[in-house]
């Protein structure tokens, strides 16, 4: 293992499928789904001290890479990985032509919302120009453009909730699950742009040329359908 967390070359065998997964909350929910669909990383994947980015799988014809969510979509769209899991927010933000999302996994549920300071009572909709802090400039611009507002996007990768109080931007567009973080920072939701769930994504070329890719799509679809059938009984 190198000091920058790159894997030993033995992980990269010709003909292996590369399965890309995101770091963070979605991964915790996705792992049991993946195992039931026949995709399971080797034991060292679960080592919290590991800085490795690529891992062997229990299947010899597959390896797994763990990267940031936005990078999952990029790796798959460009064919560096053939299959992956990512939130629908990332899919919509990039809108890659070579990316196909055939299965809604029904996990990682949240929403992409607009929020502003609770003390900001002026109607922003009357403005023709608005500065917005967000990690999602494309989705943000499209949302406000539909309302006739030109959004000047300030790109942030975190701490979005600080932007209005520090005068960086009047509003934010960010992921919301329970809304607790917004409330604790004096913000209120004003609109929902997108309801989000995790999706199985595949490279379109790989789907057509590698029989293992449609087989994985079928396995994940069966797993999602089985979970959906069980849900009413568990409720």
Please give the structure tokens belonging to residue 204: 């379109």
Same structural domain, 15 and 116: no
Q: What is the pLDDT of residues 33-85, one digit of tens each?
A: 999 999 999 999 999 888 899 999 999 999 999 999 999 999 999 999 999 99
Same structural domain, 89 and 51: yes
Same structural domain, 96 and 141: no
Q: How far apart are CA 39 and CA 41, in angstroms?
A: 7
Which range of residues forms the domain containing residue 185?
110-196
Per-residue DSSP letter, 211? T
State the pLDDT confidence band at 124, using cuts at 50, 70 and 90: low
Mean pLDDT, the chain, whole residue set: 91
State the pLDDT confidence band at 14, using cuts at 50, 70 and 90: confident
Contact indicator for 91, 36 with CB cutoff of 8 Å = no
pLDDT at 195: 98
Q: How far is CA 16 from the centre of its chain?
A: 24
Contact indicator for 12, 61 with CB cutoff of 8 Å = no
Report yes or no on 3 lying in a domain. no
CATH number of the domain encompassing residue 224: 3.40.190.10
Same structural domain, 114 and 223: no
Handedness of CA 133, 138, 141, 143 (dihedral sign): negative
Report yes or no on 1 lying in a domain. no
Collapsed DSSP state (helix, strand, coil) of residue 173: strand
Report yes or no on 19 lying in a domain. yes
Contact indicator for 200, 101 with CB cutoff of 8 Å = yes
Per-residue DSSP letter, 13? -
Q: What is the pLDDT of residues 88-115, one digit of tens each?
A: 999 999 999 999 999 999 999 999 999 9
Q: Which residue matches tokens 């005068």?
A: 167
Q: Helices 212-234 & 25-36, crossing angle to 10 degrees?
A: 100
Contact indicator for 200, 102 with CB cutoff of 8 Å = yes
Report yes or no on 38 lying in a domain. yes
Same structural domain, 210 and 103: yes
> 112 to each of 47, 91, 107, how far by Cα in Å?
31, 13, 15
- Number of domains comprising the chain: 2
Contact indicator for 93, 101 with CB cutoff of 8 Å = no
């Amino acid at each position: 293992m190198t000091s920058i967390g790159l894997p030993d070359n033995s992980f990269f065998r010709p003909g292996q499928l590369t399965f890309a997964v995101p770091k963070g909350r979605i991964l915790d929910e996705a792992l049991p789904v993946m195992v039931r669909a026949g995709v399971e990383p080797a034991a060292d994947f679960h080592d919290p001290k590991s800085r490795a980015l690529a891992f062997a799988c229990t299947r010899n014809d597959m390896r797994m890479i763990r990267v940031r969510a936005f990078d999952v979509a990029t790796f798959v769209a460009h064919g560096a990985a053939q299959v992956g899991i990512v939130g629908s927010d990332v899919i919509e933000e990039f809108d890659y032509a070579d990316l196909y999302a055939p299965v809604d996994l029904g996990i990682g549920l949240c929403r992409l919302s607009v929020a502003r300071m609770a003390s900001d009572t002026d109607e922003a909709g009357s403005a023709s120009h608005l500065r917005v802090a967000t990690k999602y400039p494309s989705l943000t611009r499209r949302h406000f453009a539909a309302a006739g507002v030109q959004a000047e996007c300030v790109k942030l990768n975190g701490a979005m909730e600080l932007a209005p109080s520090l005068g960086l931007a009047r509003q934010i567009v960010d992921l919301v699950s329970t809304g607790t973080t917004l409330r604790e920072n004096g913000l209120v939701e004003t609109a929902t742009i997108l309801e989000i769930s995790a999706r199985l994504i595949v490279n379109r070329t790989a789907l057509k040329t590698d029989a293992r890719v449609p087989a994985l799509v079928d396995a994940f679809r069966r797993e999602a359908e089985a979970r959906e059938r069980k849900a009413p009984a568990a409720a």
